[in-house]
Structure 1
Amino acid sequence: MSHSELDSTYLGAFIILLLATCSFSLITFLSSKISKKLANCNTERLKVGFYECGPTTVKQPNKINIHYFFYGILFILFDVEVIFMYPWAVDFRLLGLFGLIEMLLFVAILLIGFAYAWQKGVFKWQSIR
């Protein structure tokens, strides 16, 4: 394949990419202009009403206990651990002893993190009052 044939091969792809980019830009520009022309510009009614629907709040909303967030973070941590362990379990025989040692090290690091969270009292539930 000569240099000129290679250039002509990519020329068609370049033209398609250029047309797609131009048409996307044109459609985006026209839709923003048309929506501004057709939109209702009367904002006075919105200024005097409530921002959210429903009745007005009469008391302070409930506080969410911080322990829910700790449990959520720990769930995500151990969920990601399972995601990393699944491919290892599928290819366990191909990885051999080296793969086993790597996974044992990975699980040991996670268990150290779990023990640290336990030692810091993340799993002790105390109410906020």
Structure 2
Amino acid sequence: MMVTTFVIFLISSIVMLLASILSKKTFMDREKSSPFECGFDPKSSARMPFSLQFFLIAVIFLIFDVEITLLIPFILILKISSIKIYFMTLTFFILVLLLGLYHEWNQGALNWTI
């Protein structure tokens, strides 16, 4: 058992070492690091600054969008479950959504700053 573990560790280490040696790329290659714009030099910087706040708002939107999509099957569940269990489950799910929204609002993640 110990020998097998050692052999697996040794083989994986050798493969990782070979991969890192063989995949060395030159970072100083001007042509590969320059932006391509129809064969011409770009008029402005190709590396535009990206707003981290915009990214966080987009991720929060996607998370809540998926959670809203999870609410759609609740309509079908109403037909097959009792009304008490249905409302308890729906209330719990919406409560978790509202608590998450409150937490994001309280942390200031929803404040749009310029």
TM-score by length of 1: 0.52
Q: CA deviation at 1:61?
A: 2.7
Indicate which of 52, 59, 65 corresponds to 1:73: 59
Would you say 1:64 and 2:50 are equivalent positions? yes
Is the partner of 1:81 in helix, strand or coil? helix
Number of the residue aligned with 1:50: 31
Is the partner of 2:65 in helix, strand or coil? helix
Per-residue CA deviations over 1:26-81 (Å, capped at 9, x if unaligned) read xxxxxxxxxxxxxxxxxxxxxx7722422257647321111211211111111111
Separation of aligned partners in 1, 2:94 and 2:110: 20
Indicate which of 70, 94, 97 corresponds to 1:107: 94
Give the alignment's Cα RMSD to 1 decimal: 2.6
Number of the residue aligned with 2:68: 82
Question: Which consecutive residues of structure 1, in runs of 5 or more, have no partner in the other structure?
Answer: 1-47
Separation of aligned partners in 1, 2:43 and 2:87: 57
Number of the residue aligned with 1:14: none
Aligned length: 81
Q: CA deviation at 1:83?
A: 2.0
Number of the residue aligned with 2:78: 92
Task: Indicate the percent of aligned positions where both proteins have the same amino acid.
Answer: 17
Would you say 1:120 and 2:107 are equivalent positions? yes
Q: CA deviation at 1:98?
A: 0.7
Where has structure 1 moved over 4 Å in runs of 4 or more? 56-60
TM-score by length of 2: 0.58
Per-residue CA deviations over 1:4-29 (Å, capped at 9, x if unaligned) read xxxxxxxxxxxxxxxxxxxxxxxxxx
Question: Which consecutive residues of structure 2, in runs of 5 or more, have no partner in the other structure?
Answer: 1-28
Larger RCO of the pair (alpha carbons < 8 Å, separation 6+): 1
Alignment map for 1:15-34 (pairs within 5 Å): none
Is the partner of 1:50 in helix, strand or coil? helix
Separation of aligned partners in 1, 2:47 and 2:30: 21
